[in-house]
Structure 1
Amino acid sequence: MPLLAQITAPDPNLALILKVFPALVVILLTSALCGRLAQLVMQPRVLGEMVAGVLLGPTLFGWLFPGTQAAIFPPEVKPVLYVLSTIGLTLYMFLVGAGLDHSARTPGEVRKASVLAASGILPSVLLGFGVGLLLHGTLSRPDVSPFQFALFVGGALSLTAFPMLARILYERGLENSPIGRLTLLAASIDDALAWCILAILSAMHLGAGPTGALPTIGLTALFAIVMLKVVAPLLRPMGRTVERTGRLGPTAMYAVVLIPLTAGWLTDWIGVYAVFGGFFAGLAMPRDPAFRQALHGRMMEVVSTLLLPTFFTFSGLNTHLGGIAGGAMLLAFGLILAAGFCGKYFGCALAMRGLGFGRRESYAVGALMNARGLMILIFINIGLAQGMITQELFAMLVLVAVLTTAAALPLYKLALPARLERAVEPAGEPPLEEQVIRSNSG
């Protein structure tokens, strides 16, 4: 081939890079702008990033400038965004798990968290199931049974956005306070149960039947036991080394990147999505304060600034809000939103009152547990990819995610103003990772 032809011949890999880089630039600029606007109205930066993802999709950007939107986000770029977003979610959940302070556990915490989790998931599943049965003829695909459709709606509404919740608590320095730890633990139980529901639905939809999900649930339990009882002790010397030297060396950095990615790969193979592998990998990390500080200082900025906005945009590209116009669709959306909000908010608040907490603390926790942001987006993306739900239901649940998450912090502050919030802060020094989290999320 002549030299000129070799130079001008398009390289597929280079062509893909030249398409991915502009997409990432647009994602970061839009996320930074929307995140800053969210902070100006006293919302977490991550909420602005969620809205940015929706705005970059077909609802606004694709409607105003369809040609430009198609040029920036062509079909071949979307798989790359999916891979980057999955890596980002896995590493973020890894950092959340690594940041939990196990030494601050209070007596009866697991029992109380289980009660709170049950109060958050049961009313939401029941209300969502009822609304799903009512709306099956309006919103469901014809090949999905009323039971499967209703259970999917209930499962989606039962989720609490664990990463979102952790981010709000980190911002306020409450992740190791009694209500902070209780809420995080309850949210993790809720989400684990919701993923079990999704595993059952996936097995039923693919023709394996409800019992087809039993291997998935069993392997997930086995994976968690191995991470916490086998891998965790093997990693303790690494924590002592960092405690002694004050830094993560090259070998340790390889380990803290390789372990969550491998764990995510294994849980994806099991069928419960990579984010839970990342979370359990974080729980297995050493608990030494210096290790936690070094880990968050090295990884959090890149994960929260680059990779999470990529996921929000990937979800936004699948969100068509124009499909829910009209009286019937708006009524359906209102029913889903009301079922989701009431089930979580009032269910969790009443459970906290039953556990002996004050009225303000109870409704503050109800507000936090009602945030669904990240996890419901993951849940419904899987449902859409597997053909279990329609684009219309997907768009409605995206709006539910945005609205319930936007309401979480104002309702929390209304129930527990700053002057009262200090009474529930953890004693002693603030968490080592708090400054890093606050600098990245507002």
Structure 2
Amino acid sequence: MSQLTVTELFLIAMLLIFGLPYALWRLGRTDYWAPLVVVQIICGILLGPGLLGNWLPAFYQSVFSGAVIQTLNGLAWWAVMLFVWIAGVELDLKQAWQYRRESFITGGLALSVPFLFGAIAALLILQMGPYWLGTSGYLWQFVLGVGMACAVTALPILMLFMEKLGILRSPLGQRILRYASLDDIAIWAVLALILLDWDRLGRQVLFLALFFPASYFIRRLMGRVPVMDRWYLAFIWLAAVALIADWAGLHFMVGAFLAGVIVDVEWLGEKALDDMRHWVLLAFMPVFFLSTGLKTQWQLGGWMVFGAAAILLIAAVWGKLLGIKLAGWILGWQQGDAAIIAWLLQTKALIMIIFANVLLDKSIITADTFTALLLMAIGSTMLTIPRVTGLLARHSLQRNQPE
């Protein structure tokens, strides 16, 4: 393929990125246990250096040349910035505050128990050897990062799954969104703590000092301009905050989330934002999944990476189940609610992958740890729909039985 131009190689890569997942998803009819977004993540791993690079090294090196990867990375960065920004815009804590006792107890236990299990799992993995900790990472950053990766819930994918199950707008669905919203704040707060850089502390203080007055100005401005101007201003604001956050050492994804938090859904329109999330997920995020797959490594051997992923998966699943069970016991939930909520909050996929990407970019974890976390996220997310479908059917029968 040496005679092909960079543009042609880029388009071959795009054909693989969009064509392979769609073919597997549609022809394999995987939607029940692996929705398209999960298949896209899996295909990102398949097209990475550890698998395609080993099976067809000449083809891999030709298609995914340095110039092509650089171009794909640019698309992936913007895609994930948009996605995280949307997650920030959609964050609504009004309902959580209205039901604050239930929300804080459930959200707290849904996060803290799997975090504790994940932190223990991180320490166990480190006993397998020193090759899991990144070159720039400290022990506390690794434990905190891996623990949070086991606890995280992917709010955008959770909404997608609940819509698929027909419960998004139901009282149960709205409860689950309240719990997940609180976890969403904790995820980015912990990430900011992990990325705290004493050498650039002055920059980070300056970033926060500028962010709040600038946010006030943007909010006043966006409330006064036409809707289309709000979209343009939102994207300018997104790029500016992400840039300054990255310059300050907090990573551009933290900036993207903060840029979204101060934007009200009503300014842009709920339907327009839903449509945008759909199109970003459809048209841009597959490039991010491929970019993620290119970071996976199997240098320690598949069995060690899979072993670490299994430990992390057990910690994530059982931690979440126990945490939600405790919340249900404290709050006196009806029978069956805790299991449904716990399995839906297992959904990790995108947000955990984004979180782990930041840890890898900052060399807090190694590529092998990143691969294990990625496999854990895939496994946890794939368990969600099959488990919840059966639980919902049983739950509905119990509710409809005469007393």
Q: Which residue of 2 aligns with 1:426?
A: none
Change (3 A) 1:252 1:218: closer
User: Which amino acid in the other structure matches residue 102 of structure 2?
Assistant: K
Measured in 1, the distance between the counterparts of 2:179 and 2:206 equals 21
Measured in 2, the distance between the counterparts of 1:220 and 1:343 equals 34
Change (3 A) 1:82 1:133: same
SS of the equivalent of 2:365 reads coil
Q: Which moved more, 1:215-224 or 1:309-318?
A: 215-224
Q: Which residue of 2 aligns with 1:156?
A: 149
Alignment of 1:51 onto 2:35: no
Measured in 2, the distance between the counterparts of 1:356 and 1:281 equals 38
Q: Please report how far the alpha carbon of residue 403 of structure 1 lies from its aligned counterpart in structure 2 after TM superposition.
A: 0.1
Q: Which residue of 2 aligns with 1:309?
A: 286
Contact 1:98–1:283 (Cα < 8 Å) also in 2: yes
Q: Please report how far the alpha carbon of residue 316 of structure 1 lies from its aligned counterpart in structure 2 after TM superposition.
A: 0.8
User: Which amino acid in the other structure matches residue 21 of structure 1?
Assistant: L
Measured in 2, the distance between the counterparts of 1:167 and 1:272 equals 29
Change (3 A) 1:400 1:102: closer
SS of the equivalent of 1:23 reads helix
Measured in 2, the distance between the counterparts of 1:135 and 1:283 equals 35
Alignment of 1:25 onto 2:15: yes
Q: Please report how far the alpha carbon of residue 267 of structure 1 lies from its aligned counterpart in structure 2 after TM superposition.
A: 4.0
1:134 to 110, 120, 124: 124
Q: Which residue of 2 aligns with 1:4?
A: none
SS of the equivalent of 1:416 reads helix
User: Which amino acid in the other structure matches residue 338 of structure 1?
Assistant: I
User: Which amino acid in the other structure matches residue 138 of structure 1?
Assistant: M
Measured in 2, the distance between the counterparts of 1:106 and 1:316 equals 35
Q: Which residue of 1 aligns with 2:296?
A: 319
Query: What per-residue deviation string (whole Å, max 9, x for no partner) do you get for residues 72-104 of structure 1?
Result: 11123223322212211222233445456788x
Contact 1:260–1:278 (Cα < 8 Å) also in 2: yes
Measured in 2, the distance between the counterparts of 1:106 and 1:124 equals 21
Contact 2:231–2:268 (Cα < 8 Å) also in 1: no
Alignment of 1:88 onto 2:79: yes
> Runs of 5+ in structure 1 lacking a partner?
1-9, 243-248, 424-442
SS of the equivalent of 1:318 reads coil
Change (3 A) 1:376 1:234: same
Contact 1:35–1:46 (Cα < 8 Å) also in 2: no
Change (3 A) 1:180 1:79: farther
The alignment of Structure 1 onto Structure 2 pairs a total of residues equal to 392
Q: Please report how far the alpha carbon of residue 314 of structure 1 lies from its aligned counterpart in structure 2 after TM superposition.
A: 0.8
1:265 to 207, 223, 243: 243
CA RMSD of aligned residues (A): 3.6
Contact 2:32–2:386 (Cα < 8 Å) also in 1: no
Contact 2:251–2:358 (Cα < 8 Å) also in 1: no
Q: Please report how far the alpha carbon of residue 315 of structure 1 lies from its aligned counterpart in structure 2 after TM superposition.
A: 0.8
Q: Please report how far the alpha carbon of residue 263 of structure 1 lies from its aligned counterpart in structure 2 after TM superposition.
A: 3.8
Measured in 2, the distance between the counterparts of 1:191 and 1:288 equals 20
Q: Which residue of 1 aligns with 2:222?
A: 235
Contact 2:110–2:320 (Cα < 8 Å) also in 1: yes
Q: Please report how far the alpha carbon of residue 284 of structure 1 lies from its aligned counterpart in structure 2 after TM superposition.
A: 4.3
Q: Which residue of 2 aligns with 1:6?
A: none
Measured in 2, the distance between the counterparts of 1:310 and 1:265 equals 21
Alignment of 1:367 onto 2:343: yes
Contact 1:376–1:401 (Cα < 8 Å) also in 2: yes
Measured in 1, the distance between the counterparts of 2:284 and 2:116 equals 34
Q: Please report how far the alpha carbon of residue 108 of structure 1 lies from its aligned counterpart in structure 2 after TM superposition.
A: 3.2
Q: Which residue of 2 aligns with 1:399?
A: 375
Between the aligned residues of both structures, percent identity stands at 25
Q: Please report how far the alpha carbon of residue 288 of structure 1 lies from its aligned counterpart in structure 2 after TM superposition.
A: 4.3
Query: What per-residue deviation string (whole Å, max 9, x for no partner) do you get for residues 373-397 of structure 1?
Result: 1122122222222222223222211
User: Which amino acid in the other structure matches residue 157 of structure 2?
Assistant: M
Alignment of 1:109 onto 2:99: yes
Q: Which residue of 2 aligns with 1:431?
A: none
Q: Please report how far the alpha carbon of residue 272 of structure 1 lies from its aligned counterpart in structure 2 after TM superposition.
A: 4.3
Q: Please report how far the alpha carbon of residue 344 of structure 1 lies from its aligned counterpart in structure 2 after TM superposition.
A: 1.8
Q: Please report how far the alpha carbon of residue 178 of structure 1 lies from its aligned counterpart in structure 2 after TM superposition.
A: 3.9
User: Which amino acid in the other structure matches residue 361 of structure 1?
Assistant: D
Change (3 A) 1:163 1:407: same
Alignment of 1:383 onto 2:359: yes
Measured in 2, the distance between the counterparts of 1:84 and 1:392 equals 24
Measured in 2, the distance between the counterparts of 1:163 and 1:40 equals 17
Alignment of 1:291 onto 2:284: no
Measured in 1, the distance between the counterparts of 2:364 and 2:268 equals 45
Q: Which residue of 1 aligns with 2:187?
A: 194
Measured in 2, the distance between the counterparts of 1:121 and 1:31 equals 32
Q: Which residue of 2 aligns with 1:434?
A: none
Contact 1:136–1:146 (Cα < 8 Å) also in 2: no
Change (3 A) 1:360 1:267: farther
Q: Which moved more, 1:171-180 or 1:213-222?
A: 213-222
User: Which amino acid in the other structure matches residue 232 of structure 2?
Assistant: Y
TM-score, scaled relative to structure 2: 0.81
User: Which amino acid in the other structure matches residue 122 of structure 2?
Assistant: G
User: Which amino acid in the other structure matches residue 56 of structure 1?
Assistant: L
TM-score, scaled relative to structure 1: 0.75
Contact 2:96–2:103 (Cα < 8 Å) also in 1: no
2:109 to 119, 139, 142: 119
User: Which amino acid in the other structure matches residue 130 of structure 2?
Assistant: S
Measured in 1, the distance between the counterparts of 2:236 and 2:326 equals 42
Measured in 1, the distance between the counterparts of 2:339 and 2:120 equals 25
Query: What per-residue deviation string (whole Å, max 9, x for no partner) do you get for residues 245-284 of structure 1?
Result: xxxx4x4542343343334334444544444544454454
Measured in 2, the distance between the counterparts of 1:201 and 1:107 equals 27
Contact 1:38–1:44 (Cα < 8 Å) also in 2: no
